[in-house]
Amino acid sequence: MIVIKASGFQVESKFDITFNSIGSTILIFLVIFRFMSLKGFINIANCKLIDLFNAAKKEDKMPKIGALIYLIAIISVIIIMLGYRNAYLAADNFNKTLNALILVILGTYGLLGAVLPVVLKHLIRRKSFFYKGVNVISISNIAYRIRSNYRTYATVVILVAATITALGTAITMNHTYKSRIENKYIYTFSYASLKDINEKSIKNIIEKSNHKITKEVKLSLLYSDNIDGYNKYGLISFVKYSDFIRVLKELGNYELVNSMDSNLTEENRCIYVQKAGTLITLSLGEKTDEFIINDKKFSVSEKIKIPFLGGIYPSDLLIINDGTYSELERELKKINFYGIKVDNQENTKVLTKELENMADKDRNN
């Protein structure tokens, strides 16, 4: 329940105690109890009574530390270091998370089963430290107990590590999910059409609802599906530089605006903008940094990945200078884009239905 809550998923989960769960718990513990009782009975039946009394008086001995224990200790330290290194690298590569968890589990067993006994042995040999204060009691107690209990300690540590990993994964998934949503749906409602968009009707419907428009973006693009170059198997759209800067300002991305330069689009150069929601780019054929359309060659001066038109527009963008855009405007098809953002986005179900009905009517006309 904690993991589901931390992940932010809209899944209803509640804690209930039912008769079936109580019965299942009792049955499982009865099976375990019977098994342990049978095991104890067999051990007692195979032992002499005098041996049982002597076993109760038998003192624990320090575990022997041989060459094998030293070797296991060294390997365990290396493994756990690799595990934490993978955990550090998991920030950039999520696939390393499982590797980190497995390595830390193995390293933890070795740490408590081999490294700790080696350390305790060396502390006991240091007489000046061992016989100082209560060290003789505490270190001896740890050394005697570690032999039979290190597996239990390791199991507890591993369970804690696995729990923290699960919580961390859930929180990361929640953050990633929200980031993807913000990048893909930067507008509450988006329209892209070859025809003129009925903006007035859209605004009228929104005004009649309990929502207010907080952001509004209007843009014209040119597109072609016959381009040689970087993305020859996909759709490419052209945006003029002045519109690109204007929309960035309307979206509040002033940091990128300040880093842009109109020279990046001069002399048939362009800025390549990757579409929203793209995590990995797969190249079909030879990958280049040039585009050729209608005998015009464009070279990519800079590549950026930003939320610009949201997820409704499935196209990468080439930002070109205004003069070149005017030339291509006579040769390519034009798409009108209209994006709006309203307040109280969580409660737009009714408004969405009304806008969908309006869009269906416009599409049929």
* Domain boundary residue, one of 151, 183, 215: 183
Q: Per-residue pLDDT for the chain (365 aa), expressed as one digit of tens each? A: 665 665 555 556 666 778 888 888 899 999 999 998 898 888 777 777 676 666 655 555 555 677 888 888 899 899 989 988 888 887 667 677 788 888 888 888 888 888 888 887 877 777 777 777 777 777 777 777 777 677 788 888 888 877 887 777 777 777 777 777 766 678 888 888 888 888 888 988 988 888 888 888 899 999 876 665 544 445 688 999 999 999 999 888 888 888 888 888 888 889 988 876 554 343 333 445 777 777 788 888 888 888 888 777 777 889 999 998 998 888 888 989 998 888 888 788 888 888 888 887 777 66
What is the chain's alpha carbon radius of gyration, rounded to the nearest angstrom? Answer: 34
Token digits of residue 185? 């749906």
Domain identity same for 94 and 205: no
**Residue 92 sits in the same domain as residue 109:** yes
Clarify whether residues 178 and 205 are in a common domain: no
Q: How many domains is the chain partitioned into structurally?
A: 2
For residue 341, the SS3 value is strand
Predicted pLDDT of residue 240: 93
In Å, the largest CA–CA distance within the chain is: 105
* Contact between residue 201 and residue 358 where contact means Cβ atoms under 8 Å apart: yes
Query: Do residue 175 and residue 199 come from a single domain?
Result: no
Tell me what pLDDT residue 176 has. Answer: 75
* 170 and 247 assigned to the same domain: no
Domain boundary among 116, 150, 183: 183
Question: Which of 183, 217, 241 is the C-terminal boundary of a domain?
Answer: 183
By residue range, what is the domain housing residue 151? 2-183
pTM above 0.85, yes or no: no
Predicted confidence at residue 234, as pLDDT, reads 55
253 plus 173 within the same structural domain: no
> Residue 277, by phi and psi: left (phi above 0), alpha (psi -120 to 50) or beta?
left
Residues 144 and 198 in one domain: no
DSSP 255-303: HHHHH--GGGGSTTEEEEEEPTT---PPP-S---SEEEETTEEEEEEEE
Q: Check residue 309 and give its pLDDT.
A: 82
The amino acid that residue 128 corresponds to is S
